[in-house]
């Protein structure tokens, strides 16, 4: 129950298409069910600092099997998961990370996208996740 | 499209002059377009803890091609980039990091300054960036 | 003078073809001239531990603009670069990392391959590097 | 009893002159008596991987108040300091790091040079150390 490289590359192609359609330049990372990198692409001219963020978003989404933005709501000051970002060598908990499911609804990996506003990052990640 | 050592040293000289003019002691770091250190100077008596901060400010400014203070406005609690500082082995997102552009407006590196108030840090970084 | 994503993906496709031709399963990483990741692919069933090794091989090849195996010859006990692997957050100095040049012979990035014997790793990396 | 920035910059200038005289491209790092970076310069076209190595050589020379190559002789397999490179977040123990003394023979810092053969690295470091 693990994403294949072919599926990961399909997700990256779909994410790139969405990214171009909304005129952004993204870093796109796909991890498997073990939260380990399967495929990655940095579009020409994309922010260098988003490289690490895209991978951390993908890992974070798989670590907790939910969209990264949901964790970010709980990690605020006073929230139940305040500063959870200190774990796992650094989480990124704002939008742009989404679990990837197979046709049976089982989680087989996750996608992380970074390079624009969090709304655009999420939209591109969603396009990638839905391609599978 | 990468800053040269001669340009980096020119920026450091200009930053030091500004630092002395406003009676501060600064750590000054210059990174290239790959966010790797090109030149560095710690003025006598400058805070030791500002060494790492100046380098991280320079890297952060190049990672996202913007002044570090702009990122800090977005990384506050409730902000869209809350806790982005956990990425890239540690970002510094308060003022003092500024991208460096060439005559054509292309980003060729960044400068990071730390050792005084963030207002002073930014002013000294600006003096360095404008010297090129 | 930096590798594009299109070039990086072309190198990964060529490396995968070679890998399949010699019946191996590889991790393949491409970095740019700043030694930052541009593209990555882990073939289905490839060793998980080779993920990090492939990235470190690519970085090492660009860090010193030479094949990783050359450094490994010098880093042996008694060699002039003994234990150089402790630098740069970990180098990998056995074969499988190769600089990538453009048509003018300028280094624009590097490829790192890991997942089989070092001979096979090198052969697959070479196939990727020559595709550009 | 600490190296000043002016002294550090003088050492870097002398090291660069020697480096050019022997047709090499070097990373040059100066640390103070606390083993913290005071000044740094990466010559245009110098190996990127030598950035970290030059800083580690300077730190190593000050950590133990001796030339780095001496430690490397003791850190070989079977030697009394075998694999000491694992300490202090990574030592570099081949030649190119030299303590810097003042006129009274007191150690006030160290220089680390990396970018060519260890013989050249040492020669350039020596030129820098002797300038003070």
pLDDT-derived band at B106, boundaries 50, 70, 90? very high
Average pLDDT over residues C111-121: 98
The reply to whether D42 touches chain B by the CB within 8 Å rule is: yes
For the segment A55-74, what is each residue's pLDDT rounded down to a tens digit? 999 999 999 999 999 999 99
For the segment D61-86, what is each residue's pLDDT rounded down to a tens digit? 999 999 999 999 999 999 999 999 99
For the segment A88-114, what is each residue's pLDDT rounded down to a tens digit? 999 999 999 999 999 999 999 999 999
With an 8 Å Cβ cutoff, are B44 and D9 in contact?
A: no
**CA atoms of C45 and C27, how far apart (whole Å):** 10
CA angle D4, D7, D8 (to 5 degrees): 85
The reply to whether B56 touches chain A by the CB within 8 Å rule is: no
Percent of chain B at pLDDT exceeding 70: 100
**CA atoms of A34 and B7, how far apart (whole Å):** 46
Q: Minimal Cα distance from B46: which residue of D?
A: D38
Task: Give the pLDDT confidence score for residue B9 in this predicted structure.
Answer: 98
Domains of chain A in start order, with CATH, are 9-115 (3.30.450.150)
Distance from CA of D52 to the nearest CA of B (A): 9
Task: Give the pLDDT confidence score for residue C12 in this predicted structure.
Answer: 98
With an 8 Å Cβ cutoff, are C83 and D75 in contact?
A: yes
**CA atoms of A42 and A64, how far apart (whole Å):** 25
**CA atoms of B62 and A59, how far apart (whole Å):** 24
With an 8 Å Cβ cutoff, are C87 and D118 in contact?
A: no
Task: Give the pLDDT confidence score for residue C1 in this predicted structure.
Answer: 81
For the segment D15-62, what is each residue's pLDDT rounded down to a tens digit? 999 999 999 999 999 999 999 999 999 999 999 999 999 999 999 999
Distance from CA of D90 to the nearest CA of C (A): 5
CA angle C48, A112, C50 (to 5 degrees): 15
With an 8 Å Cβ cutoff, are B84 and A75 in contact?
A: no
Q: Is the pLDDT of residue A1 over 90?
A: no
With an 8 Å Cβ cutoff, are D48 and C63 in contact?
A: yes
For the segment A23-66, what is each residue's pLDDT rounded down to a tens digit? 999 999 999 999 999 999 999 999 999 999 999 999 999 999 99
Nearest CB to B5 within list D37, D38, D43? D43
Whether A118 and A71 have beta carbons less than 8 Å apart is answered as no
What is the rounded average pLDDT for all residues in chain C? 97
For the segment A11-25, what is each residue's pLDDT rounded down to a tens digit? 999 999 999 999 999
**CA atoms of C30 and A51, how far apart (whole Å):** 13
What's C78's DSSP letter? Answer: T
What angle, rounded to 10 degrees, do the helices at C118-130 and C5-21 form?
A: 140
What's A85's DSSP letter? Answer: G
pLDDT-derived band at D1, boundaries 50, 70, 90? confident
Return the residue in B44, B48, B56, B112 with the most chain D beta carbons within 10 A, the one to mutate for interface testing. Answer: B44
Average pLDDT over residues C71-81: 97
What is the rounded average pLDDT for all residues in chain A? 97
The reply to whether C34 touches chain A by the CB within 8 Å rule is: yes
With an 8 Å Cβ cutoff, are A49 and B34 in contact?
A: no
Task: Give the pLDDT confidence score for residue D18 in this predicted structure.
Answer: 98
The reply to whether C77 touches chain B by the CB within 8 Å rule is: no
For the segment D72-127, what is each residue's pLDDT rounded down to a tens digit? 999 999 999 999 999 999 999 999 999 999 999 999 999 999 999 999 999 999 99
What is the rounded average pLDDT for all residues in chain D? 97
Task: Give the pLDDT confidence score for residue B95 in this predicted structure.
Answer: 98
With an 8 Å Cβ cutoff, are B86 and A92 in contact?
A: yes
**CA atoms of C57 and C125, how far apart (whole Å):** 10
Distance from CA of A104 to the nearest CA of B (A): 33
pLDDT-derived band at B1, boundaries 50, 70, 90? confident
Q: In what order do the strands lie in the sheet with C97-101?
A: A97-101, A107-114, A27-32, A37-42, C37-42, C27-32, C107-114, C97-101
Question: Which chain B residues touch C35 with a CB distance below 8 Å?
Answer: 34, 36
Nearest CB to B87 within list A72, A77, A90? A90
**CA atoms of D14 and D10, how far apart (whole Å):** 6
Whether C71 and C81 have beta carbons less than 8 Å apart is answered as yes
Contacts of A15 (CB under 8 A, 6+ apart): A26, A28, A111, A113, A124, A125, A127, A128, A131
pLDDT-derived band at B68, boundaries 50, 70, 90? very high
């Amino acid at each position: 129950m693990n994403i294949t490289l072919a599926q990961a590359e399909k997700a990256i192609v779909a994410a790139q298409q969405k990214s171009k359609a909304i005129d952004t330049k993204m870093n796109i990372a796909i991890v498997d069910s073990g939260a380990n990198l399967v495929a990655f692409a940095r579009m020409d001219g994309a922010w260098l600092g988003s490289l690490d963020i895209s991978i951390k978003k993908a890992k974070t989404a798989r670590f907790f099997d939910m969209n990264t933005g949901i964790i970010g709501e709980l990690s605020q000051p006073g929230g139940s998961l305040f500063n959870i970002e200190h774990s796992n060598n650094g989480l990124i908990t704002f939008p742009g990370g989404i679990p990837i499911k197979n046709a049976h609804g089982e989680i087989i990996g996750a996608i992380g996208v970074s390079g624009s506003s969090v709304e655009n990052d999420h939209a591109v990640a969603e396009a990638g996740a839905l391609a599978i």
